[in-house]
Chain A
Amino acid sequence: MEYKILPVGDSALTVVFGNKIDPETSRIVRIARQYLTGKQLPGVTEYVQTYATLMVHYRPLEAGYEELVARIDAELSQMDTEGGRMGRNTILIPVCYGGEYGPDLPTVCDHAGLSREEVIRRHSGTDYLIYMLGFMPGFVYLGGMDPSIATPRLKDPRERLEKGSVGIAADQTGIYPLVSPGGWQIIGRTPLELYDPERDTPILYEAGEYIRFVPVTEEEFLRIRREVEAGTYVYQWLRDDPGEGGQPGREG
């Protein structure tokens, strides 16, 4: 495992593990994040995982840069990137495709030259790796979309995309957790609250986990929406997890 550490201002540093988008680099960044989190390094306030880097935010009054770099080097040399392979956690995201929830589904069908059913099947038929979150709370950068349904962005971005909008932009797919302007081709909407500040975990998922879209009818969409609003909805996970003890660094 090769990496380099660079300062980012005086209160953060970045551990660079690579320079491309691929699941293996992402896996290493995630293991490093969980491993270091478990070590509770003095002065460190939070870790931010991106495609190929791990940003470490710290308090210089508690740990200086040189000191922290030495500590991270020492920890990473002890880290086992192979042992304790993490289980795969997949969250199921119900999506009502097309109609008023997905006004651009016909555009995507035309562009791909596929039927509505086939586009939905291809979009929901994959587990997407969450490479990172950013841009807005809970916004996921996903990998693994079927290239046959890739569609360019709208020429004229919409001023308002509803919360939960599921869209395609070129070869990427994603969900808008908040109302936002945007140029994505919107093919559906999820009734889930991906971001809820009142919840114990305001954001449901984290980098390294997977998302699977599950097509639902409008009736199901409305029923789930009511359950979400009433707080009775149980979020559906497929957990292939070795358990609390089996994960390196997870909460120590």
Chain B
Amino acid sequence: MAMHVIFPGPRTTIQDHGRLGFQNSGFAPGGFMDRVASHMANALVDNEDGEAVLEFCLIGPVLRFDEDVNLAVCGGDFSMDVDGTVWPAARAVHVPAGATVRIRTGTMGTYGSVAIGGGLDIPEIMGSRSTNLRCGIGGFRGRALMAGDVIPLRDPKNGAEDLSWRRVPARRIVAPADRAITIRVIPGPQEDMFTPEGVRTFYGSSYVISSHSDRMGFRLNGPRVESVRGYDILSDGIVNGSIQISGTGEPIVMMADRQTTGGYAKIASVINVDIPLFAQLRPGQKVQFEQCTVGEAQALMRLAAEEWQKHRLLLEEEAARRAQDSLRKAENSGAPAPAVPVRAPRGIVTRRSGWARQQRCYLKQRRNRCR
């Protein structure tokens, strides 16, 4: 009833939707680098969108389970080798007990998410199972996975049902390495710290993802963005995707494990729907920034949410149809009817209820504090 880590991969951590509600205390939410990939992987194995996944960076783990289990890998151009049979990303794989699962790395993408049917049995800390390496909390013992780790499964029965019919449309994910990919940004809040020439440089140049990039932020190499006088501001808030221009004049894009506040001027912020795409860029790949309005960005978010809701509904309908089929077959054969699981439909609704639960937990903590 557990997952055995044979080989962890250099930077594999457990991540979910992150810790909300503590940024005012200096605590960044963390969580998925590629939210879309993680939601997809979870949907494939019939988990809620925000369930904790194994998130690896370029090199994935080697795993073994002592129970049948449904797995899915999404993110970059990754695939899953189960005892020598290779399965592509964006589909569920039914893995028999004792089989060795290797994640293979392809030519594109940086962060991969491995979803485990039913999730891992690890505690929630401050409303989340995400690993926060700096604080040494969350995930499995507050650290990256290590060879020999044995992590119990929360719902060992998930693997009793073969979910390998489940598919999501593979994402058209990353541009080939030799072409600059366009990432949309919303200007500000300190665009006025830069000269018109500096702003033109920022939008007119392509920048290369530096190898000094991690879950905290991606450094970019390229033309200096000229400021009016210096890059320092009175420290203010930072969001996922904030683009700071540091003292060298080069941009740093702040990511999941960023600081909550900072003192470098921010020229723009990556729009929400482009963050998963940006997170998949590899060191050496080129990026170019394009302006977008808040209205456009939010319309894109609504569109993406509707689109995703549709995919989840299709999966639900197909699951219901299959359950009916097996029920009918069982009736025809006169055998006792198998139990059909009854439960609430999944998808964005449940993701929000996860958020509501966190929010309630946060408010409770706030109340306790005031007493």
Residues of A within 8 A of B (CB): 6-12, 14, 16, 19-21, 33, 45-53, 55, 57, 59-61, 64-66, 132-139, 141, 178, 195, 197-198, 200-203, 206-207, 244, 250-251
Contact = CB atoms under 8 A, between A and B. Distances in A.
B239 interface: yes
A250 B134 CA distance: 31
B323 interface: no
A134 B260 contact: yes
Contacts of B23: 46, 48, 55, 57
A50 B134 CA distance: 22
Interface in B309-364: 355, 359, 362-363
Given A60-B301, A132-B235, A203-B26, A137 B135 contact: yes
B134 A136 contact: yes
Contact of A9 (B21, B134, B137, B239): B239
A108 to B, nearest CB: 24
B22 A178 contact: no
Contact of B26 (A52, A61, A139): A139
Main secondary structure, interface of A, reads: loop
Main secondary structure, interface of B, reads: mixed
B186 A202 contact: no
Contacts, number: 155
Interface centre among A14, A50, A64, A207 (most CB of B within 10 A): A50
A59 B22 CA distance: 16
A135 B259 CA distance: 5
5 closest A-B pairs (Cβ-Cβ)?
Answer: A134-B261, A55-B237, A9-B269, A10-B297, A203-B25
Nearest to A140: B26
B29 to A, nearest CB: 9
B21 A45 contact: yes
B359 A7 contact: no
B189 A203 contact: no
Contacts of B25: 133, 137-138, 202-203, 206
A29 B297 CA distance: 28
Q: Chain B, interface size: which category?
A: 35 or more
23 contacts: A7-B186, A12-B237, A16-B189, A45-B359, A46-B22, A46-B362, A48-B260, A48-B261, A50-B235, A50-B261, A51-B235, A53-B236, A55-B237, A60-B301, A65-B295, A66-B295, A132-B235, A134-B235, A178-B134, A195-B135, A200-B365, A251-B366, A251-B370
B242 interface: yes
Given A55-B236, A134-B235, A203-B27, A46 B302 contact: no
Interface in B122-161: 125-126, 134-135, 137
Interface in B250-271: 259-262, 266, 269-271
Given A59-B355, A133-B26, 5 more contacts: A12-B239, A60-B302, A200-B365, A201-B369, A202-B126
B234 A135 contact: no
A178 B367 CA distance: 25
Contact of B234 (A20, A60, A203, A244): A20
B188 interface: yes
A10 B293 CA distance: 9
Contacts of B294: 7, 10, 65
B170 interface: no
Interface centre among B22, B26, B269 (most CB of A within 10 A): B26
Contact of B301 (A10, A50, A198, A201): A10
B368 interface: yes
A52 B263 CA distance: 13
A27 to B, nearest CB: 16
Nearest to A177: B26
A11 B272 contact: yes
Given A9-B270, A10-B294, A46 B239 contact: no
A99 to B, nearest CB: 27
B268 to A, nearest CB: 8
B302 A61 contact: yes
Contacts of B21: 45-46
A202 B27 contact: yes
Contacts of A7: 186, 188-189, 294
A181 B50 CA distance: 33
Contacts of B27: 137, 202-203
Nearest to A4: B189
A48 B272 CA distance: 19
B20 interface: yes
Contacts of B188: 6-8
Contacts of B211: none
A137 to B, nearest CB: 4
A9 B271 contact: yes
Given A57-B23, A251-B366, A48 B126 contact: no
Given A50-B261, A61-B305, A64-B298, A21 B239 contact: no
